[in-house]
Structure 1
Amino acid sequence: MSAPSHQPAPSSAPRSWALCLGTMLVMLVVHLGSTALWHQRLPDPLATHWNGALVADGAGGILTHLLAGSFVLVLLGILMPFSARSAAGSRTGAPLLVGLGNALLVIIGGMLLSGLIGQLDAPEALGTSMDFRVLIAVLLLGIGWGVASAFLVRAALPAEPAMSEHLLGEPAAATVAFTPGTVISSTVRMPKVLLLVLGALIAALLVFTFTTRTEGALVNWSLLPAAVIVLLASVLFLSGRVVVDEQGIRVYGGGLVKLLHVRPEHLVSAEHRDISPSEFGGWGLRISGAGVAFITGAGPGVIVQRKRGAARIYSVATTEDAQKMALVLNSLSTTNPL
């Protein structure tokens, strides 16, 4: 009698990709097609920025308009399914990310369309307003399609979520004798796809800073500090070095700034297991109901329970690093009982 074969659990990833890329392509066709169809009725330059009252206060060439809109749509269309993949198997994470992404794609594409309609036959772009009827229509359409997408992704998931492995290697009770002077260091970096996305975003902000014509310098140059902030935040909160030694566990954001330090006297226990951004609300330094996390992607991690306060969660480079760190931290905690 042959042993029963194990069938792989259904995955929502193919459906997530199909829905997000399909929505992205439709909105790209609307964006590029409407510009090509109406280009003779549009002013030159075109509006590229609107204020809080949805009135155009910045303008640029038609190429800037096409590239800016396409960049945002492609960015969302690719980033959302990548994010949903890290939440594969979650009955809330993946559907929520896909639904939110598709809703944003429709709404942003609709805003670009309403901006064009508001400029039709106008002598100049500055001072024109977005078409509110189109905005209301795309807002409702975006919400509806976002909800429908979330249900479609959820339907592709198994009826019962797969049980995740609680611990890797030895049980949590296992300890090792801690030797003073022991130092375990693990360097973590952001996923390559996220690095590319952030690099493209910073480049786009710099390009728009120097190419967008506005009524005042404030709107134009406000993009430059935004680029600097994105760069610094990316370095400090999306890469770092996790260290475990006789002082406990801590992470250095960007390898420089100390974050999330748990000292031995505050330790209760530590475990090592695979973690994903969907558990803690995304990449980087995150705060959620599960605790405070420094997470750079799906993979091995160390979860530290404290005597007071929420848990601390750290991404590490390898499963071996996670195992060693958990064992050392559990050894340290036994020397500092409650």
Structure 2
Amino acid sequence: MRDTKAARRATAAVWTVGVTAVLAAMPLLARDRLPERLATHWGLNGEAPDGSMPLWAASLVPALIWLVTAAAVTVPLTRAGPPGRPLTTVLLLPMGIVLTGAQAAVIRSNLDRADWHEARQPTAWVVAILVAAVLAGVAGWLIVTRRRGTADAGTASGEGAPALDIPEGRRLVWFARTANPWLQLVAAAIGLVALGALVAQAGGVAAPGTLWALFAGCAAGSLACAVFSSVQARVSERGLEVSFGPLGWPGRRWAPGDIDTARMEVRRPAQVGGWGYRISGLGTTVMLRAGECLVIRPRGRRSDFAVSVDDAERGAALLNALRTKEARG
């Protein structure tokens, strides 16, 4: 638990410090192609700028605004307890995108201008930034509010494959989720590099086309780490459903009749070849932490599928009970 909390704090720190660095560095990296003062504000009724800042202020002020805003959002919600903490994702993600996008728009508008009065209002950029921020906010909301099943099962009993007695007329559901916070931290760090490359490229800081390969590689790596940094397992009358990532996609499903047996087994990364989605002599294992795993043997297959989740024995017991119930008709 301490490791998880430490990793979450580290992820938040990486995002906060990384966005600060991007905001502060962009004007400085492009200073040879910028005027002494940068146009930073445009009137609502025209394209001509009506406000400006010196280069040092254009670098420092957005970074300070971000730091103050991040602190104002994070500290109260963290003190509010666990229910408030997920809201930091919903709020900080779009806010960081808005500020970095706005900084990129300012840099691009002033690029290669002799005087800040020549800069023109970046209307298309503003629209694109707002759309990206809304999409990020919606994605963050979906992540923290995604429906999760609740466990409602008795005590597993019996030898060998565990089983449960399901009372007549009752529908039982078992749910478990496991996350590897260090993979999430890696995803955030690589994603930040991708964001910096995209903003630098779009803002004109780098030569055209030089950072697209870096952006594409880091974005793909960040997405892969994010998808396989968490897993959810759900057992219901539909069978076993295993889904990956914060949005629960992609996923795999087995109906009760598609499973021969289910059991709990203790596995470690060294046994299955490492972390993540692994294929070994033990079959397929989704290994996010060492310890108990829910293991099934799909019907007609010679290898197992295992997923590392807590309370795996109870999930296996319910799955076996559902399988037996379906076989009896």
TM-score under structure 1 length normalisation: 0.43
User: What TM-score, normalized by structure 2, do the two folds share?
Assistant: 0.44
